[in-house]
Amino acid sequence: MKRILVTGGLGYIGSHTVVELQAAGYKVVIIDNLSNSTMDVLDGIAAISSERPDTEILDLRDKEKVHTFFNDYNNIEGIIHFAASKAVGESVENPLLYYENNVGSLVYLLKECRDRGIENFIFSSSCTVYGQPDTLPITEDAPVKPAISPYGNTKQISEEIIRDLSHASNLRAISLRYFNPIGAHGSAEIGELPKGVPQNLVPYITQTAAGIREELSVFGNDYPTPDGSCIRDYIHIVDLAKAHVIALQRLISKENTDDFEIFNVGTGKGSSVLEVIHAFEEVTGNKLNYKIVDRRPGDVISVYADTGKANRVLGWKAEKTMEEALASAWAWEKKVRGIQ
């Protein structure tokens, strides 16, 4: 049976996607180097799927090991490439790590695709490529703006590399531009578990509610938005995971109309930071300790997706609400911390 390679499959989005792939009948092999995940994630996947996917612990920056992997697994039908470093601040301090890990590894993987005739490739991109868009909601035709961070730049460069190879080979690729993924699997067997202090809003909220962080800082309430806090498009992780399965199916069945296609993956609805906080309080009954602080450098004011293309062309639509996502994030946090 052919397999789907999921790089970074033990990470947050990768693990949820592995579950959905297995539910759809795909046989999966994971590559991960555990730089931002642990082997326990495999137990969570197995508990949900009753299937433990083959997993190779290796670093995609090791070209020789990547080559050997493809010799060992010579039946890869498609690749979903999640593995990357993703901390925006760290990328400013250590840009070469980001260019090597996010761009270098991608080149090695694509070489294997070209040399072995692997045709189906899904890439994890980000709405960060749009910067602060001129019009909202954002369509896929919106211009890519100069990146604010090396991390954002790796996503832009990676899309260009994949596009170029798709024109020069048999590669068919889809770039999914994620908006803000949040939440956890409904079973609470897998979820988001950032190492160290969370950089993202929802894990910071759940850790504050769990008493691990004293206080949540809201970065600015003087933006030109209805309540003054920034607006994002928060998408449930399970909806996002399902979009990958549909995109993969499109490539495998050769329904794609271009060798390189781009889709926004969001809900189409913008929510402010304060709305997220109040929704969390409402859904979980927790009162959150938060304070307004200065703006965070590099934050854009407002971003949310036009999801029309994904709805029409992929037949995919986000189904879950932000409230469901926040409830699942809290259920996961409680399980991890042993809170009743």
Please list the active-site residues.
Answer: 151
Q: Specify whether the CB–CB gap between 227 and 292 falls below 8 A.
A: no
Q: Specify whether the CB–CB gap between 288 and 281 falls below 8 A.
A: yes
- In degrees, rounded to 5, the angle at the alpha carbon of residue 40 between the alpha carbons of residues 38 and 43 is 145
Cα separation, 125 vs 17, whole angstroms: 15
- Choices 76-84, 126-134, 164-172, 235-243; region in contact with ligand UFG by CB under 6 A: 126-134
Cα separation, 303 vs 293, whole angstroms: 21
* Nearer to ligand NAD (CB atom), residue 292 or residue 299: 299
Dmax (CA) of the chain: 56
Burial (0-12, 13-18, 19+ Cβ within 10 Å), 8: buried
Residues 251-280: x where in contact with ligand UFG by CB under 6 A, - otherwise, as a string: ----------------------x-------
How does 75-111 read in b/e, with b if 16+ C-beta sit within 10 Å? ebbbbbbbbbbbbbebbeeeeeebbebbbbbbebbbe
Residues 81-110: x where in contact with ligand NAD by CB under 6 A, - otherwise, as a string: -xxxxx--------------x---x-----
* Nearer to ligand UFG (CB atom), residue 77 or residue 275: 275
Could you tell me how many residues of this chain bind ligand NAD (CB under 6 A)? 28
- Measured torsion, CA atoms of residues 30, 36, 21, 183, in degrees rounded to the nearest 10: 170
Q: Which of residues 135-174 bind ligand UFG (CB under 6 A)?
A: none
Residue with tokens 């399970």: 238
- Choices 5-13, 21-29, 114-122, 206-214; region in contact with ligand NAD by CB under 6 A: 5-13
Of 20, 28, 36, 270, which lies in the binding site for ligand NAD, with binding defined by CB under 6 A? 36
200 touches ligand UFG (CB under 6 A): yes
- To ligand UFG, the closest distance from the beta carbon of 137 in angstroms equals 14
Q: Specify whether the CB–CB gap between 265 and 179 falls below 8 A.
A: yes
- To ligand UFG, the closest distance from the beta carbon of 190 in angstroms equals 19
* Nearer to ligand NAD (CB atom), residue 139 or residue 292: 139
* Nearer to ligand NAD (CB atom), residue 1 or residue 192: 192
Chain residues in the site for ligand NAD (CB under 6 A): 8, 10-14, 31-37, 59-61, 82-86, 101, 105, 124, 126, 178, 180-181
